[in-house]
Structure 1
């Protein structure tokens, strides 16, 4: 990885940036949909580890078909070996999908104890801090990017907006130190997730396609979750019962493909921070729409929820202003 370079995207018109923002939001909206589906599958099977494994494995099968059974997929997969030989892609970039497996594990290990609202704030804070750090060290395909005042303000606004949006669910929380320590897990998951998107973007730039990076993400994540699930069976025992038959229980993986593939492309266009923030806005907007249209037990929609979601969109625009005004965000 040549983190010393400092390439930046070309100047972009307001219309192009608006289009990119729309794509970020749509990609981010796939995440709450995936979470809702995986949670329902976990409830049906009584095994959240198996639900996570099934989600990744089904996603892996779908991306395998795209990568090896379509002409475009085969062409892009043929670029992997030359990219590794040339040094444009390091072999360990291919393990970025393990972060996705770790992220899912943080969900299953902590949400039941700290709640969805605190989990969301911790993850978003980790993603935002990670976006700043990974952009600064040059992990993404656009190289090192300076932490300008507008980017920093936009990052702070994102954390504040998400906290505001979930504040109705935070009211009355009274927890002990162990509860606070558990928050470190989703924070680290969000932080590493931003790094995962940076590496995916670097691979997409090298392959000129997000297909190989998405394939390796699902392969590595599936392998990690398979090991964890087998280990859980050995230690705790318990064979899952009958799997649900409704098709929609199994679309979590394909939704993940949308998030990973589109996210990998976005990082090459706007950098790690702005891509992460735009997809965070999509996460909140998607969650809001789900809570309005098909509310889950315990979901809360208030004025704070709506205004906090709107504020995330403002934060993304603020962070993207350097690209809009100067065409340079480093």
Structure 2
């Protein structure tokens, strides 16, 4: 009996990144997220079926994760640990279904990204993610437990949100349906909750690969069902699939950034994770729209300005206060362990 807390204690420490490294990982994951948006959006456009594109992307990712888990004893042990934590009521069962948030995100990519452009899609997504990150952190859904709405955190989120609203309004076009702007906002809110749940599963299992596995099982299952229903209503699946190999990289890219975010969130919390990934998303979307823009889309002067101000928001949230700097850094390393032991 007395050995169980020690085992759980050691798993809580496994794989936790320093704050600086976690911030870098989150930014890189943001770049990968917009890269996936471009790939999946193009695949959905060429297929003429965003539902099938999303299901295909997530299913390819699931196959990759299953192969990785098959060759990683630590990931298989992590799966057992995660089920034990649920059985002992230390980990909520709903965290195993975090992949539904990823499914909404990938589906929104296939349906809306190619139409509205990567930059506009990204800022709409960021709006939902930022607001949801505040709520998720305050509710204590992430592995770091409750993170209170300090003036600095609210100010940083407010700056990001204001930039997002301004950027969306400056890009509105009469020929873009409103639901295509609303869908990525909903996806952003879902992804903030997904990141929190993935972090909790990784914390309980001692393996971000384990949380990635559960994420892809849930997301792929949901998207395959949705795509099948759509195919029945629409008269079947696409008759021809494109030959370009890079159009099928959405799944592998998703594996990388979901693993990275599940690792980083244990240190950063959901709001800071979201704001760091925002910086990567905005910077990445500018590069993508400059180097490989979709048809009819180009970068204007508002997007680089938005990227600069979102980076400012990241700094406002991440820099510790003068009195609480040492405590803040210690909490970043210890809170995930403490909250999981109390649960």
1:301 aligns with 2:303: no
Separation in structure 2 between the aligned mates of residue 65 and residue 240 of structure 1, nearest angstrom:
28
Aligned length: 313
For residues 42-79 of structure 1, the C-alpha deviation after alignment (integer angstroms, 9 at most, x for no partner) is 22322211110110000000011111223333332332
Alignment map for 1:10-89 (pairs within 5 Å): 17-89=19-91
In the TM superposition, residue 191 of structure 1 has moved relative to its aligned partner by 1.4
The answer for the alignment partner of 1:224 in structure 2 is 222
The answer for the alignment partner of 1:127 in structure 2 is 129
Alignment map for 1:1-330 (pairs within 5 Å): 17-109=19-111, 119-164=121-166, 169-170=171-172, 173-174=173-174, 180=178, 183-322=181-320, 325-328=325-328
The runs of 5 or more residues in structure 1 that have no matched partner are 1-9, 11-15
Q: 1:270 to 1:112 in 2, by over 3 A?
A: closer
In the TM superposition, residue 120 of structure 1 has moved relative to its aligned partner by 3.4
TM-score by length of 1: 0.85
For residues 70-102 of structure 1, the C-alpha deviation after alignment (integer angstroms, 9 at most, x for no partner) is 333333233222222222222221111112212
In the TM superposition, residue 160 of structure 1 has moved relative to its aligned partner by 2.7
Q: Which moved more, 1:67-76 or 1:116-125?
A: 116-125
**Does the aligned pair in 1 maintain the 2:279–2:311 contact within 8 Å?**
yes
**Does the aligned pair in 1 maintain the 2:52–2:237 contact within 8 Å?**
no
Separation in structure 1 between the aligned mates of residue 239 and residue 226 of structure 2, nearest angstrom:
19
Separation in structure 2 between the aligned mates of residue 297 and residue 94 of structure 1, nearest angstrom:
38
In the TM superposition, residue 167 of structure 1 has moved relative to its aligned partner by 6.2
Separation in structure 2 between the aligned mates of residue 68 and residue 123 of structure 1, nearest angstrom:
34
Separation in structure 1 between the aligned mates of residue 166 and residue 299 of structure 2, nearest angstrom:
12
Separation in structure 2 between the aligned mates of residue 99 and residue 236 of structure 1, nearest angstrom:
25
The answer for the alignment partner of 1:6 in structure 2 is none
**Does the aligned pair in 2 maintain the 1:67–1:77 contact within 8 Å?**
no
Q: 1:180 to 1:54 in 2, by over 3 A?
A: closer
The runs of 5 or more residues in structure 2 that have no matched partner are 1-12, 336-343
Separation in structure 2 between the aligned mates of residue 106 and residue 209 of structure 1, nearest angstrom:
28
TM-score by length of 2: 0.82
Q: Which moved more, 1:121-130 or 1:99-108?
A: 99-108
**Does the aligned pair in 2 maintain the 1:168–1:300 contact within 8 Å?**
no
Separation in structure 1 between the aligned mates of residue 278 and residue 184 of structure 2, nearest angstrom:
14
Separation in structure 2 between the aligned mates of residue 65 and residue 51 of structure 1, nearest angstrom:
22
Separation in structure 2 between the aligned mates of residue 292 and residue 116 of structure 1, nearest angstrom:
11
**Does the aligned pair in 2 maintain the 1:165–1:309 contact within 8 Å?**
no
Separation in structure 2 between the aligned mates of residue 82 and residue 322 of structure 1, nearest angstrom:
36
Q: Which moved more, 1:106-115 or 1:75-84?
A: 106-115
Separation in structure 2 between the aligned mates of residue 101 and residue 159 of structure 1, nearest angstrom:
24
**Does the aligned pair in 1 maintain the 2:128–2:187 contact within 8 Å?**
yes
Q: 1:169 to 1:122 in 2, by over 3 A?
A: closer
